[in-house]
């Protein structure tokens, strides 16, 4: 990789990390405030509705985000081809958005269990339009991460102010849901403005369009995303139907911190997709080198995060959710392993197999996860509620990762990472020692959490100074 390429990748990673940190920290900050106003059941109902509508949003978007970035990254320098591709994809999304709306409305007014959520469901149905016509892939393919970061941060700051202004009592549950909807996908509205103001695409005659050529690869990716969502969202849906809003509220609070870590790591991988797509076609050695570097970064981050969540789950939940979420302490510990597992699966599925056009491997791994999750949820949720869903989630994610690793070993020349994991585990022992010591020395929960995180991060960084130095690009 040349110096200019390395610099651009580094800048994109930094901007995407900043954007992702805000995107994940924002709901945690808001959750910390709102969880003390709305009760566990109210929070559970909002989560259940958003999760339920997400199935239909998936149909509206049809997996175009991955397909769009992968294919358009190869034609960004040709405005005619890029414009043609843009309009073909949006016509497909127009059809799927209309279909998803019809199916959602039929579901809302025919399933009796959803009657109590009808208002929230109708409000969140706006998400179908925002997801169906997001065109986020256009900015991703052009590596416009600076604009994407600034845009998202400004919207989230605006929504944060809106929550503080409008959400003050339990009756404000609907207002909270509206603000949450806009903060998650409101940025998509500005994508169209940006695309046409910058004249990224031009007009194309209808007879020039060739929509059929996209149908097969998009539907393969759609099948892949359906299988992913079956095991990532099925737990919340089944919890809501079987155990109710309280269980969903506890589970939602427990999984937020592991998702924070996974999202930060995912932000690094997301910026690599266009470049990996290019390298796979042109320079396979650079492709493998970049994948290996990403895997080293994942190990460096996830191992200490896992130990930290295990040791400080009670402090994390108490500070961010409040004392009414004490049932989430154990659930958070059960979910901690997904911090280790999901980033590896995401790296191989999204950043390796998709640029390689090996979506079939993604489909195989996610179908394995969906099957495991469905069976274990059906068995464990009626008995253990949110803890049963957590066990099922960990087992499902593990099955996905194992299938991914199997296929990566067959397709690429990847190094053995056991020594890197061992080093990360050994140097993470400092986190155990520090957290145990501070539990006895510091009474205040917030101060104890802050001190433990700061000192642990400092010690882990010092012990891994050489590892950190290796991640910093040099002129050579």
Cα–Cα distances in angstroms (integers) from residue 53 to residues 23, 56, 59, 130, 370, in the given order:
20, 5, 10, 12, 19
- The sign of the dihedral angle between the CA atoms of 283, 285, 289, 292 is positive
Query: Which of helix, strand or coil describes residue 71?
Result: helix
The whole-number pLDDT of residue 351 equals: 74
- Of 85-99, 250-264, 306-320, 458-472, where does the model show the most confidence? 306-320
Q: Is the pLDDT of residue 390 over 70?
A: yes
The whole-number pLDDT of residue 3 equals: 58
The whole-number pLDDT of residue 476 equals: 42
Q: Is the pLDDT of residue 278 over 90?
A: no
Q: Return mean pLDDT, the chain.
A: 81
CA distance 103 to 437: 55
User: Mean pLDDT across the stretch 132-155?
Assistant: 78
What is the distance, to the nearest Å, from the Cα of residue 129 to the centroid of all Cα atoms in its chain?
20
CA distance 255 to 458: 25
CA distance 379 to 384: 9
The whole-number pLDDT of residue 155 equals: 87
CA distance 388 to 379: 8
What is the distance, to the nearest Å, from the Cα of residue 107 to the centroid of all Cα atoms in its chain?
26
Cα–Cα distances in angstroms (integers) from residue 259 to residues 160, 306, 339, in the given order:
20, 12, 8
Is 182 or 9 the better-scoring residue by pLDDT?
182
**Residue 354 half-sphere exposure toward CB, CA atoms < 13 A:** 30
Tokens representing 301 are 């981050």
CA distance 444 to 446: 6
CA distance 268 to 245: 34
What percent of the chain is modeled with pLDDT above 70? 87
Q: Is the pLDDT of residue 249 over 80?
A: yes
Q: Among 67, 407, 366, which Cα is nearest to 230's? A: 366
First to last CA, the chain: 10
User: Mean pLDDT across the stretch 143-166?
Assistant: 84
66 and 221 in contact (C-beta within 8 Å)? yes
DSSP run (H or E) holding 391: helix 359-411
User: Mean pLDDT across the stretch 171-180?
Assistant: 85
CA distance 292 to 269: 12
Is 138 or 422 the better-scoring residue by pLDDT?
422
248 and 126 in contact (C-beta within 8 Å)? no
* Residue 115 DSSP label: G
User: Mean pLDDT across the stretch 127-137?
Assistant: 78
Q: Which residues contact 426 (CB under 8 A, 6 or more apart)?
A: none
User: Mean pLDDT across the stretch 327-341?
Assistant: 91
353 and 407 in contact (C-beta within 8 Å)? yes
Tokens representing 194 are 């940006």
Tokens representing 388 are 């049963």
- From 8-12, 199-203, 250-254, 452-456, the region with the lowest mean pLDDT: 8-12
The whole-number pLDDT of residue 268 equals: 62
268 and 294 in contact (C-beta within 8 Å)? yes
Q: Among 287, 291, 380, which Cα is nearest to 331's? A: 380
CA distance 217 to 301: 34
Q: How confident is the model at residue 395 (pLDDT cuts 50, 70, 90)?
A: very high
What is the distance, to the nearest Å, from the Cα of residue 231 to the centroid of all Cα atoms in its chain?
14
pLDDT in tens, 87-102: 888 888 888 888 989 9
pLDDT in tens, 12-33: 667 766 776 777 677 778 888 8
Q: Among 264, 262, 261, 268, which Cα is nearest to 291's? A: 268
User: Mean pLDDT across the stretch 445-469?
Assistant: 87
Count how many residues are written for the chain: 476
The whole-number pLDDT of residue 475 equals: 46
What is the distance, to the nearest Å, from the Cα of residue 444 to the centroid of all Cα atoms in its chain?
32
Look at the pTM and tell me if it is higher than 0.85: no
Is 144 or 335 the better-scoring residue by pLDDT?
335
Q: Among 59, 19, 107, 445, which Cα is nearest to 222's? A: 59
What percent of the chain is modeled with pLDDT above 90? 13
User: Mean pLDDT across the stretch 185-214?
Assistant: 81
Q: Which residues contact 124 (CB under 8 A, 6 or more apart)?
A: 49, 50, 53, 177, 181
Q: Is the pLDDT of residue 337 over 90?
A: yes
Q: Is the pLDDT of residue 276 over 70?
A: no
């Amino acid at each position: 990789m040349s110096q200019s390429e390395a610099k651009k990748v580094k800048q994109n990673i930094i901007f995407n990390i900043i954007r992702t940190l805000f995107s994940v920290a924002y709901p945690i900050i808001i959750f910390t405030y709102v969880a003390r106003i709305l009760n566990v059941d109210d929070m559970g109902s909002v989560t259940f509705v958003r999760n339920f509508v997400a199935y239909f949003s998936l149909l509206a978007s049809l997996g175009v985000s991955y397909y769009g970035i992968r294919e358009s990254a190869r034609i960004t320098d040709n405005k005619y081809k890029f414009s043609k591709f843009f309009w073909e994809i949006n016509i497909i999304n127009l059809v799927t958005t209309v279909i998803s709306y019809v199916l959602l409305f039929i579901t809302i007014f025919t399933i009796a269990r959803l009657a109590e959520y009808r208002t929230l469901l109708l409000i969140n149905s706006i998400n179908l339009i925002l997801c169906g016509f997001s065109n986020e892939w256009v900015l991703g393919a052009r590596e416009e991460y600076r604009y994407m970061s600034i845009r998202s941060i400004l919207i989230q700051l605006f929504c944060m102010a809106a929550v503080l202004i409008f959400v003050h009592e339990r009756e404000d549950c609907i207002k909270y849901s509206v603000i949450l909807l806009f903060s998650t996908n409101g940025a998509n509205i500005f994508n169209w403005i940006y695309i046409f103001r910058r004249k990224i695409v031009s007009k194309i005659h209808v007879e020039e369009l060739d929509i059929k050529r996209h149908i097969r690869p998009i539907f393969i990716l759609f099948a892949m995303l359906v299988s992913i969502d079956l095991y990532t969202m099925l737990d919340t849906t089944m919890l809501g139907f079987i155990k109710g809003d309280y269980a969903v509220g506890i589970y939602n609070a427990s999984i937020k911190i592991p998702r924070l870590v996974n999202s930060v790591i995912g932000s690094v991988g997301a910026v690599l997709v266009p470049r990996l797509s290019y390298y796979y076609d042109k320079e396979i050695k650079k492709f493998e080198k970049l994948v290996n570097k990403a895997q080293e970064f994942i190990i460096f981050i996830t191992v200490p995060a896992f130990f930290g969540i295990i040791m400080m789950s009670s402090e994390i939940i108490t500070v961010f959710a409040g004392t009414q979420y004490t049932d989430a302490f154990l659930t958070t510990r059960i979910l901690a392993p997904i911090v280790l597992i999901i980033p590896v699966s995401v790296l191989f599925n999204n950043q390796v197999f998709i640029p390689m056009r090996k979506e079939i491997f993604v489909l195989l791994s996610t179908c394995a996860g969906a099957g495991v999750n469905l069976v274990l949820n059906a068995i464990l949720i009626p008995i253990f509620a949110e803890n049963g869903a957590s066990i099922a989630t960990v087992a499902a994610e593990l099955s996905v990762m194992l299938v991914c690793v199997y296929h990566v070993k067959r397709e690429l020349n990847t190094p053995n990472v056991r020594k890197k994991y061992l080093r990360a585990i050994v140097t993470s022992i400092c986190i155990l020692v520090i957290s145990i010591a501070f539990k006895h020395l510091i009474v205040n929960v917030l101060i104890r959490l802050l001190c433990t995180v700061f000192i642990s991060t400092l010690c882990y960084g010092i012990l891994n100074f050489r590892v950190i130095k290796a991640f910093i690009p040099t002129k050579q």
